[in-house]
Amino acid sequence: MLTQDKLLDMYYRMVLIRAFEDRVHELFTQGKIPGFVHLYAGEEAVAVGVISHLRRGDYITSTHRGHGHCIAMGVDVKGMMAELYGKKTGTCRGKGGSMHIADFEVGMLGANGIVGAGGPLAVGAALAAKYKGGGGVVVCFAGDGAQNQGAVLESLNAAAIWKLPIVFVVEDNQYAISLRSLSSTKLQPRVSTARSVAERAVAFGIPSVTVDGMDVLAVYEAAKAAVERGRAGEGPSLLDCKTYRYYGHFEGDPMVYRSVEEIDEWRKKDPIKLFEEKLLKSGIATQAILSDLRRKAALEVDEAVKFAEGSPYPEPSEAYTDVFTDPYY
Amino acid sequence: MSGVREITFVEALNEALLQEMERDPTVIVMGEDVGVYGGIFGVTKGLLDRFGPDRVVDTPISETAFIGAGVGAAAAGLRPVVELMFVDFFGVCMDQIYNQAAKMRYMFGGKIKIPLTVRTTIGGGVSAAAQHSQVLYSIFAHVPGLKVIVPSTPYDAKGLLISAIRDDNPKMFFEHKLLYGVKGPVPKEPYTIPFGTADVKVEGSDVTVVAVAYMVHEAVKAANELKMNGISVEVIDPRTIVPFDKDAVFKSVKKTGRLVVVDEDYERCGFASWVAALVADECFAYLDAPIKRVTTPTVPIPFSPVLEKEILPNAEKIIKAVKEVVK
Ligand SMILES: Cc1ncc(C[n+]2csc(CCOP(=O)(O)OP(=O)(O)O)c2C)c(N)n1
Ligand SMILES: [Mg+2]
């Protein structure tokens, strides 16, 4: 049973992700954040539902859409915001930006600019976890689009034959940029109405399940079994989470490939609202508690923006450090 | 030529694709988001509506499969133009390019041809960080069997793309992100530009500056400023790296006695080093100063604008290098 504390912690992480992403959207529009930014708003239930099972020593690999994974893993949002601004105090000292936030301290092995690249990295981290013993697991987050990348398919097979402690989490947000996930696989669904890559996992010998990715408790339940399987040394699993991104593929996307009506339909199934309803109905929380948490999240993001804006840029000479462990570049 | 208008680099590329697809039914376009979206930078806009999904194919994110399919389709008689958004992504499908497309004709004793054009974007300056900002054309030029095309103006973009589509070999066609919005005069009707013909952008007598892609614009900016300081710079845009117009560069260096090569690719083992070596071999006796290279230091492209500015070549750095060689 989930305790009240745990449930409220999950809620807080979800609203913190949302507050962070909504703010980044504004800041990007105002021209304060440069580069390519991919927002996670709408998909909060997936990151939080899965990551709520992780403990110190576990790892995740992430994607270009990594802010939600970071926040769910407990990466400091001040450092994240400063990273987005390209400041010296950023998580990666301003060298990485939105697409490359990593924090190995908390087990976040990095957002990634290359679609599918997290698959092999997760296999390696899981190989290390298995070798070291201790029941560590690795979660590999990847989009519906990434499922068609050779690196991901090879990773599924490698994880299966080596019986690795990995949970492959498919974030099927219906699109890979403009390509509908429906038209990037021929497979018919077992559970949902959408076609599903969960079928593929079965062909690799990996148990899989299709999950309502807008329902954090459903994701949590599905992930529980998968994580336990990994910790027990029984091998990989795959969760195919059906979800939706609210903003464009990247900030600035004209979104010619989908309608406003479609976005509105999905917003009606908002994962935060859905969770709120459940928390209120079960008496776990009151409106007052939830609005306090939302206010706290907004404040945390305000602080992060202040911190980022008040931080210095890196020294130009820092462009030449960190290529190797020694000063040579 | 008649019907010359000012259009952007993107529009010029789009027009080249459209006209070639109309002219030759074996020309097809494939890639991620090339259909409904019209290409993430708009280069394939309108093509799906015009030519339908058999000729304008939206692919899944399976680069090995669709770049490789481009190679196979070319071997089997089509003229595919395949797009992969950023040059940084080629790691995932490189075998199909550097072992398959590039080598098939040679290995098979010259019995086949691979009329494949692979289009991609290159370049920094937009805070896109280490995996979306590279140039990397040197890697492709290093491999035997690939033609390497690096347009710098809308006019060249259209003419070189049409030449590429009609050419019977595998080609890498590099489009610099900072050029897409650049406008210039472009004739309405189709035309070609032969590969390996450099364009002298600015005539001068003191120093030869060789630059490609976006760096041509920085070099011209530098030349204009230096002119006011009484230094006469000749700017040469080779337009294609493979084949390379050595003669144009040698001729200019023999006149000026000085060479600066500007190259946004990494400094180590790159395009600039190769040009410098060619000139050192062939024009040593004519040189009045050491050859200078203005390149990107061999570090991953950093995200922070401050750091990125530090490492990318620009007019200011070109001016500094030119002043050093005329000292
Ligand atoms: C190897 C590679 N190919 C293409 C891209 C360009 N690209 C970036 S994100 C993306 C779509 C990814 O779709 P999906 O995996 O569903 O993730 P989502 O963006 O929907 O979260 C593409 C094609 C890339 N970054 N890397
Ligand atoms: Mg997707």
Tens-place pLDDT, residues B117-157? 999 999 999 999 999 999 999 999 999 999 999 999 999 99
| Average per-residue pLDDT for chain A | 96
Query: Does residue A329 lie in a domain region?
Result: no
The strand pair at A59-61 and A179-180 is best described as unpaired
Tens-place pLDDT, residues B284-316? 999 999 999 999 999 999 999 999 999 999 999
pLDDT of residue A192: 46
Q: Which atom of ligand 1 is nearest to the CA of A181?
A: 16
DSSP B303: S
pLDDT of residue A186: 79
Rg of chain A over all Cα atoms, to the nearest angstrom: 19
Query: Does residue A328 lie in a domain region?
Result: no
Candidate list B132, B142, B176, B217, residue with the active-site label: B132
Contact B64 A150 (CB under 8 A): yes
Task: Return the closest-CA partner of residue B150 out of B62, B245, B45, B260.
Answer: B245
Alpha helices in B167-245 (DSSP H): 214-228
Contact A114 B37 (CB under 8 A): no
When CB atoms are compared, the residue of A92, A112, A179 closest to B58 is A179
Distance CA B153, CA B180 (A): 9
Active site residue B176: no
- Give the best residue of A177, A182, A185, A321 to mutate against chain B (max B CB count within 10 A): A177
Count of C-beta atoms within a 10 Å radius of residue A180: 16
Tens-place pLDDT, residues A215-246? 999 999 999 999 999 999 999 999 999 999 99
Task: Return the closest-CA partner of residue B41 out of A115, A36, A244.
Answer: A36
Query: Does residue A226 lie in a domain region?
Result: yes
Query: Does residue A28 lie in a domain region?
Result: yes
- Residue-wise burial string across A243-252, b where 16 or more C-beta atoms lie within 10 A, e elsewhere: bbbbbbbbbe
Q: State which residues form the domain around A133.
A: 4-76+112-308
Token reading at A1: 């049973």
Distance CA B88, CA A320 (A): 20
ipTM of predicted assembly, 2 dp: 0.96
When CB atoms are compared, the residue of A94, A112, A145 closest to B304 is A94
Look at ligand 1, atom 11, and give the residue with the nearest C-alpha. A176
Give residues whose Cβ lies within 5 Å of ion ligand 2: A 143-145, 173, 176
pLDDT of residue A191: 46
Query: Does residue A238 lie in a domain region?
Result: yes
Question: Is B2's pLDDT higher than 90?
Answer: no
Average pLDDT over residues A147-155: 97
Half-sphere exposure of B312 (CA within 13 A, CB side): 25
Token reading at A200: 């593929």
Ligand number nearest to the C-alpha of A38: 1
pLDDT of residue A183: 85
Provide the β-strand partners of residue B122: B176
Is the backbone peptide bond immediately before B185 cis, with ω within 30 degrees of 0?
Answer: no
Alpha helices in chain B (DSSP H): 9-23, 47-51, 63-75, 94-95, 104-107, 137-142, 154-166, 214-228, 246-256, 271-283, 305-311, 315-326
Question: Is A193's pLDDT higher than 80?
Answer: no
Distance CA A77, CA A67 (A): 9
| Average per-residue pLDDT for chain B | 98
- Share above pLDDT 70 across residues of chain A, in percent, rounded to a whole number: 98
Q: What angle do CA A279, A75, A300 make, to 5 degrees?
A: 60
3-state secondary structure at position B296 = strand
The answer to whether the beta carbons of residues B164 and B190 sit under 8 Å apart is no
The answer to whether the beta carbons of residues A92 and A39 sit under 8 Å apart is no
Distance CA A160, CA B141 (A): 39
Token reading at A25: 């959207």
Provide the β-strand partners of residue B187: B4
Any atom of ligand 1 within 6 Å of the Cβ of A37? no
Query: Does residue A85 lie in a domain region?
Result: no
B299: closest CA of chain A, how far (Å)? 6
What residues contact A322, with CB distance under 8 A and at least 6 apart? A95
- Give the best residue of A27, A98, A148 to mutate against chain B (max B CB count within 10 A): A148
Phi and psi of B183, rounded to 5°? -100, 155
Average pLDDT over residues B10-38: 98
Average pLDDT over residues B41-70: 98
Question: Is A188's pLDDT higher than 70?
Answer: no
The answer to whether the beta carbons of residues B81 and B13 sit under 8 Å apart is no
Indicate the top mutation candidate among A141, A177, A179, A255 to test ligand 1's pocket, ranked by most ligand atoms within 8 A of CB: A177
Tens-place pLDDT, residues B205-233? 999 999 999 999 999 999 999 999 999 99
Q: What angle do CA B286, B292, B294 make, to 5 degrees?
A: 145
Distance CA A179, CA A187 (A): 16
Query: Does residue A326 lie in a domain region?
Result: no
Token reading at A234: 């029984």
* Residue type (1 letter), B315: A
- Mapping DSSP onto H, E and C, the string for chain A reads CCCHHHHHHHHHHHHHHHHHHHHHHHHHHCCCCCCCCCCCCCCHHHHHHHHCCCCCCCEEECCCCCHHHHHHHCCCHHHHHHHHHCCCCCCCCCCCCHHHCCEHHHCECCCCCCCCCHHHHHHHHHHHHHHHCCCCCEEEEEECHHHHCHHHHHHHHHHHHCCCCEEEEEEECCEECCEEHHHCCCCCCCCCCCCCCHHHHHHCCCCEEEEECCCHHHHHHHHHHHHHHHHCCCCCEEEEEECCCCCCCCCCCCCCCCCHHHHHHHHHCCHHHHHHHHHHHCCCCCHHHHHHHHHHHHHHHHHHHHHHHHCCCCCHHHHHCCCCCCCCC
Average pLDDT over residues A45-72: 98
Query: Does residue A248 lie in a domain region?
Result: yes
Dihedral class, residue B304 (left if φ above 0, else alpha if ψ from -120 to 50, else beta) = beta
Token reading at A290: 């939830």
Distance CA A209, CA A190 (A): 9
Q: Could you tell me the CATH number of the domain that includes residue A156?
A: 3.40.50.970
Q: Report the separation in Å between the CA atom of A83 and the middle of ligand 1, taken as the mean of its atom positions.
A: 21
Look at ligand 1, atom 8, and give the residue with the nearest C-alpha. A115
The Cα-based distances of B230 to B64, B233, B245 in angstroms read 52, 10, 28
The answer to whether the beta carbons of residues B20 and B47 sit under 8 Å apart is no
Any atom of ligand 1 within 6 Å of the Cβ of A44? no
- Provide the domain count of chain A: 1
Instruction: Go through the domains of chain B in sequence order and give each one's CATH number.
Output: 4-187 (3.40.50.970), 199-326 (3.40.50.920)
pLDDT of residue A160: 98
3-state secondary structure at position A112 = coil
Nearest CA in chain B to A249: B40
The answer to whether the beta carbons of residues A35 and A92 sit under 8 Å apart is no
- Read off the pLDDT band of A9 (50, 70, 90): very high
Identify all chain A residues contacting B33, using CB atoms and an 8 Å cutoff. 177-179
Q: In angstroms, how far is CA A214 from the centroid of its own chain?
A: 13
